[in-house]
């Protein structure tokens, strides 16, 4: 079973074992530094593989690229079967992957922009189009220029 993929639950605390084998998804693992979060998540990753998931179907987010590299190396040692790619990455790299997968000419943020964000983008575009110079001007003069530019649109 778990020993087939190089994972043993023995060194884990009972609460960590519960998290590794929890059947609810998604699962959020919280704890202070040094409490075993990474070890728990690595165990859960390998447990998913034992349950029949392909390694390419599991995402493990880490706080940095260095942590992703170290975690990926430990997971690779625990995997006996083949896989295409391990998705062990920090959030910034995940965002880049999502944006690049959208393809050219597609705005991947379109479905997630709300009215406030759209207005902010429109104002930014308006300010760029009007080529307003805000350097070394008082706020009141900037507000007047923005009001005038908005009226021109």
pLDDT at position 73 is 93
Closest CA to 58 of 39, 41, 33: 41
Whether the per-residue pLDDT at 110 is higher than 60: the answer is yes
Whether the per-residue pLDDT at 9 is higher than 80: the answer is no
Round to whole Å and give the CA distance between 92 and 85. 18
pLDDT at position 126 is 67
Give buried/exposed letters for 134-151 (b at 16+ CB in 10 A, else e). Answer: eeeeeeeeeeebbeebee
Percent of the chain scored above 90 by pLDDT? 22
pLDDT band at 92 (very low <50, low <70, confident <90, very high): confident
What is the maximum alpha-carbon separation in the chain?
71
User: Exposed, middle or buried by CB within 10 Å (0-12, 13-18, 19+), for 51?
Assistant: exposed
* Residues 6 or more apart whose Cβ sits within 8 Å of residue 133: none
Whether the per-residue pLDDT at 70 is higher than 90: the answer is yes
Q: Which helix (H) or strand (E) holds 109?
A: none
pLDDT band at 82 (very low <50, low <70, confident <90, very high): confident
User: Cα torsion for 76, 78, 81, 87, to the nearest 10°?
Assistant: -40
Cα 97–chain centre separation: 10
- pLDDT (average), residues 87-106: 82
Residue-range domains of the chain with CATH: 2-102 (3.40.50.300), 113-152 (no CATH)
Would you call 64 helix, strand, or coil by DSSP? Answer: coil
| φ, ψ at 72 (rounded to 5°) | -60, -40
pLDDT at position 112 is 63
pLDDT at position 69 is 94
* CB neighbourhood size of 123 (10 A): 13
- pLDDT (average), residues 45-70: 91
pLDDT at position 1 is 41
Does pTM top 0.75 for this prediction?
Answer: no
């Amino acid at each position: 079973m778990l020993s087939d993929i190089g994972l043993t639950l023995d060194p884990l605390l009972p609460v960590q074992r519960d998290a590794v084998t929890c059947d609810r998804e998604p699962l959020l693992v919280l704890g202070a530094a040094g409490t075993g979060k990474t070890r728990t998540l690595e165990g859960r990753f390998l447990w998913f593989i034992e349950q029949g998931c392909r390694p390419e179907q599991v995402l493990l987010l880490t706080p940095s690229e260095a942590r992703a590299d170290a975690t990926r190396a430990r997971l690779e040692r625990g995997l006996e079967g083949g896989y295409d790619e391990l998705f062990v990455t920090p959030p910034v790299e995940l965002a880049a992957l999502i944006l690049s997968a959208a393809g050219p000419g597609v705005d991947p943020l379109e479905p997630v922009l709300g009215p406030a964000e759209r207005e902010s983008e429109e104002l930014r575009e308006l300010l760029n189009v009007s080529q307003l110079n805000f350097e070394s001007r008082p706020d009141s003069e900037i507000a007047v220029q923005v009001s005038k530019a908005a009226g021109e649109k």
